[in-house]
Amino acid sequence: MVKRNLHKIYMGLIFVFLYAPILVLVAYSFNDSTSRGNWGGFTLKWYIDLFNDRDIKTALYYTVIVAMLAATIATFIGTFSAIGLYNFKKKPKAIMVNVNYLPVVNPDIVTGLSLMILYLSTNMKLGFLSMLLSHITFDIPFVILAVMPKLKSLNKHLTEAALDLGATPLYALRKVVIPEIMPGIITGFLIAFTLSIDDFVISFFTTGSGVTNLSIVIYSMARRGVKPTINALSTLMLTVVLILLFFINKRSALVEGQKNNGGIK
Stretch binding another protein (CB under 8 A), from 14-22, 44-52, 64-72, 178-186: 14-22
- 125: which DSSP letter? P
Does 140 bind another protein (CB under 8 A)? Our answer is yes
Give Cβ neighbours of residue 175 (< 8 Å, ≥ 6 apart): 162, 167
Quickly count: other Cβ atoms within 10 Å of residue 222's Cβ: 11
Residue 244's SS3 state is: helix
User: Restricting to residues 69-98, which ones interact with another protein according to CB under 8 A?
Assistant: 77-78, 80-88, 96, 98
User: Restricting to residues 185-204, which ones interact with another protein according to CB under 8 A?
Assistant: 194, 198, 200-201
Does 105 bind another protein (CB under 8 A)? Our answer is yes
Stretch binding another protein (CB under 8 A), from 40-48, 105-113, 178-186, 254-262: 105-113
For residue 81, the minimal CB distance to another protein (Å) is 4
185/145 Cα distance (integer angstroms) = 10
For residue 61, the minimal CB distance to another protein (Å) is 17
Q: Euclidean distance between the first and final Cα of the chain, in Å?
A: 44
Give Cβ neighbours of residue 209 (< 8 Å, ≥ 6 apart): 125, 126, 127
Binding mask 45-74 for another protein (x = CB under 8 A): ------------------------------
Give Cβ neighbours of residue 135 (< 8 Å, ≥ 6 apart): 66, 67, 70, 74, 196, 199, 202, 203
User: Restricting to residues 152-191, which ones interact with another protein according to CB under 8 A?
Assistant: 156, 159-160, 169, 173
For residue 54, the minimal CB distance to another protein (Å) is 20
